[in-house]
Structure 1
Amino acid sequence: MTVTAEDVRRIALSLPEVEEKLAWGMPTFRVRNKIFVSVADDDGSIGVKCPVEDRAELIAAEPEKFFLREGHDDAYAWLRVRLAALDDEEELRAILLDSWRQAAPRTLAEAHRDLRVPTTD
C-alpha cells in the first residue's frame, strides 16, 4: 500500500487543534498556527518538524526515506520524507504525531500526552 497526500491530510486533521492552510502553493497543517507538516506536490514528499541534531542520523539510516533540500532545509528543524518509501500508514501516523508534538504548545502537548492517532481499519 502506498501512502498518499490524502492520507497525510486525513491523519493530520485528526490531531487536536489542527487546521489546513495553503502556503507557498502547497497544503500545510498547523497546530495553533505553527506548521508541523507541509505537502510538496512536485516530488511526493512531506516536510516535518525534526530536531536538527537528529536529521543526519535518520538520513544516514534510511536515505531512500529521509532527505533534505539542500540550501533550503539546512537552517531549519525540518526533514523531508518520501511518502512512497514509507513502510505503511502506521509509520506515517508515528511521523506526523511526532511532528505535531514538536510544534504544539507545551500545554497542549501535555494535555494530549497519551494521544494515539486512530487507525482506519
Structure 2
Amino acid sequence: MAVIEDVSPLGAELDRSYRVYVRGRLKFRVNQIVYVAFSLDETVMGFAFPKEERAALVASRPRAFHLPAQSDLRFNWINADLAALDRTEARELVVDAWRMVVPKKLSRAYDLTHPHGPV
C-alpha cells in the first residue's frame, strides 16, 4: 500500500520539478504543467498518462485505476487509488508522468543515474 509520503519527495528531486499546493492539494509541476496531483484526502493520485492507453490500464486493474472526471478526459490524465499501489509502483508512475512533460534529454539523463528506476 502506497501513501503520499512514498512519492512526495520526488516532486522536488526530479529535474525541473517542484511541489506546489493549490487549494490545499499537493501537485507536482514542471514549469506550469501539472504532471501529478493528489486529492485533498491524499488517497487518490492523478497523473499524466497517455490517453490512448487509459482504457487498457483501467480494464487491467479497475480497483487501482480509474478515469478522470468527464471534464478532464481531454487531457493525458488518469487517477489511481494509492492504497491499491505499492510504493515502487507509485514512484514509477510519478517518474513516467514526469517523463511526459520534460525534454527527452532529461529523461535519458535520469535513466543513466537511476538504471533501476526510482528508489
When the two structures are superposed, what TM-score results if normalisation uses the length of structure 2?
A: 0.84
List runs of 5+ in structure 2 lacking aligned partners. Answer: none
In structure 2, what is the Cα distance between the partners aligned to 1:33 and 1:115?
25
Alpha-carbon distance between aligned partners in 2 of 1:23 and 1:40, rounded to the nearest angstrom: 11
In angstroms, what is the RMSD of aligned CA positions?
A: 1.9
The superposition leaves residues 40-86 of structure 1 with CA deviations (integer Å, 9 ceiling, x where unpaired) of 12361111111110000000110101102332321111000110001
Distance 1:33 1:106, change over 3 A: farther
How far, CA to CA, are the matches of 1:67 and 1:114 in structure 2?
32
Q: Secondary structure at the residue paired with 1:81? A: strand
Structure 2 letter corresponding to 1:95: L
What's the TM-score once normalised by structure 1's chain length? 0.83
Deviation for aligned residue 1:118: 4.2
Q: How many residues align?
A: 117
Query: Who is 1:96 aligned against?
Result: 94
Structure 1 residue ranges without an equivalent (≥5): none
Matched, 1:77 2:76: yes
Pair 1:31 & 2:54 matched: no
